[in-house]
Amino acid sequence: MRNLLERLRRWIRRDGQRRSPLRPEFIGKVARQIEATHEIEYSCDDVHRLLDQFAEAVLRGENAANLWPLVQQHLDMCPDCREEFEALMRVLRASGAAAS
């Protein structure tokens, strides 16, 4: 990391240099994340507490994203929680939990 910071500092100090140490793809990824950022967001623990209720609501065909918009927003932003949600949904679909 020291290398990365040093490269950025060196790059900023050099006038006229047109080649950044970061690739343009980086900007796209960061810009998308900034665009989707809200002032208030749930943390991973907040979402984990609600994930079972959220998943069952999705399974019942309810609009879970409307019922828990902060959960949905977190799932859109956090790949770890999204993977766990998707894993849970696969299990619930396989076990027929929707019918209960």
Partner 1 sequence: MPPMAKRTNEQWLSDLRADASRRETALADLRADIMYGLPYALRDWLSPNDPRFAALAEEVTQETLMRALNHLDSFEGRSQFTTWVHKIAARVALTELRRRHWKDVSLDSLLESGEGERTPRATADHEPEPEVTAEQADLLEHLQRMMMEELTAKQLRAMMAVGVKAMPLEEAARRLGMKRNALYKLLHDARLRLKRRLAREGLSAAELLAAFERR
Residues near partner 1 (CB under 8 A): 1, 3-5, 8-9, 11-12, 18-20, 22-35, 37, 39, 41, 43-45, 48, 51-53, 55-56, 78-80, 83-84, 86-88, 90-97, 100
Nearer to partner 1 by Cβ, of 44 and 63: the residue is 44
The answer to whether the beta carbons of residues 42 and 71 sit under 8 Å apart is yes
Longest dimension (CA), the chain: 66
d(CA 8, CA 10): 5
Instruction: Say which amino acid occupies 19.
Output: R
CA distances from 36 to 31, 74, 75 (A): 9, 10, 11
Query: At closest approach, how far in Å is the CB of 25 from partner 1?
Result: 8
Nearer to partner 1 by Cβ, of 63 and 90: the residue is 90
d(CA 17, CA 13): 9
Query: At closest approach, how far in Å is the CB of 13 from partner 1?
Result: 11
Query: At closest approach, how far in Å is the CB of 33 from partner 1?
Result: 5
Query: At closest approach, how far in Å is the CB of 15 from partner 1?
Result: 11
